[in-house]
Amino acid sequence: MLPSNPIIDQLNSHVSVRNYTSDLIPREWIEAIVTAGQRAATSSNLQMYAAIAVTDKATQRELAHWCGDQKHIEDAPVFIAWCADLSKLDRACALRGLPHVHDYVENFVLAAVDVSLVMQNAAVAAESLGLGICYIGGIRNNPREIIRLLNIPRYMMPISGMTFGFPARVGPQRPRLPLPAVLHWETYSPDGVDEALHDYDQVMAATGIYDNRQVPTLGRPEVMEAYGWLEHSARRVTQVNRPHLREVLLEQGFELK
């Protein structure tokens, strides 16, 4: 049996929340959440992230539009734009009279990892206070507009948004992949991965999340089968998604050499 404690139980209970009450979140709570986020591991203590908290409804409405017309962004008491941030390091170099080498892929990877870690810490902290959260990848749909709206400077890039609020309704939790598809010991091994993916495919199809759709069986088009995670995910990654991001990264100073 896997071990359990309050922290593991909280992590295992996570669901994305998109329906919030009208109750406001105290400013001190957001400060505490971001402070807890800052305790995440960070490469060389460079802390390459920034959080822009938005509570103004007019701004949230515009954010909702540019993020794909997601209404819960407007409805949430607080929206945070989490950004990879090399601008502070650029300033540090200027203050010390040193050149800022910012134009390599590694620099962006370090910043993206840093901001991902701080976001997850913040999500856990928020949920520990009884709040619900939802990551907003749609912040990358129209990054130039987000950059303009939030006055994001050069050497910063919005990575994800996050909505915060007291849950009005919590949806069902989605199952996750079985461990054999994720956990490998000593070296990577494909043994058991396909079986785990097929098992998960059936579990996800049974949840009804895909509206009980049917698709032709691969190699036997006359036979229909449940539309599950395999079909859904394979279709998703056959599509080009946000092809403009590299251009915007270059504009923001991430030259990706």
Give the list of residues 6+ apart from residue 176 with CB closer than 8 angstroms, or none: none
Q: Tell me how far CA of residue 34 lies from CA of 47, 118, 162, in angstroms.
A: 13, 8, 12
Closest CA to 256 of 159, 91, 112, 143: 112
According to the CATH classification, is domain 6-172 in 3.30.70.260? no
| CA–CA gap between residue 231 and residue 111 (Å, rounded) | 33
Q: Where in the chain is the domain with CATH 3.40.109.10?
A: 6-172
Reported as a single tens digit per residue, the pLDDT across 239-255 is 898 999 999 999 999 98
- How many residues are there in the chain? 257
Looking at per-residue confidence, does 208 or 72 come out higher? 72
* Joined tokens for residue 117: 């870690």
| pLDDT at residue 214, as a whole number | 83
In the predicted model, is pLDDT for residue 26 greater than 80? yes
Reported as a single tens digit per residue, the pLDDT across 101-149 is 988 999 999 999 999 999 999 999 999 999 999 999 999 999 999 999 9
Reported as a single tens digit per residue, the pLDDT across 144-183 is 999 999 999 999 999 999 999 999 999 889 999 999 999 9
Contact indicator for 250, 147 with CB cutoff of 8 Å: no
| CA–CA gap between residue 6 and residue 152 (Å, rounded) | 38
| CA–CA gap between residue 182 and residue 192 (Å, rounded) | 10
Strand pairing partners for 216?
Answer: 224
**pLDDT grade, residue 234 (50/70/90)?**
confident
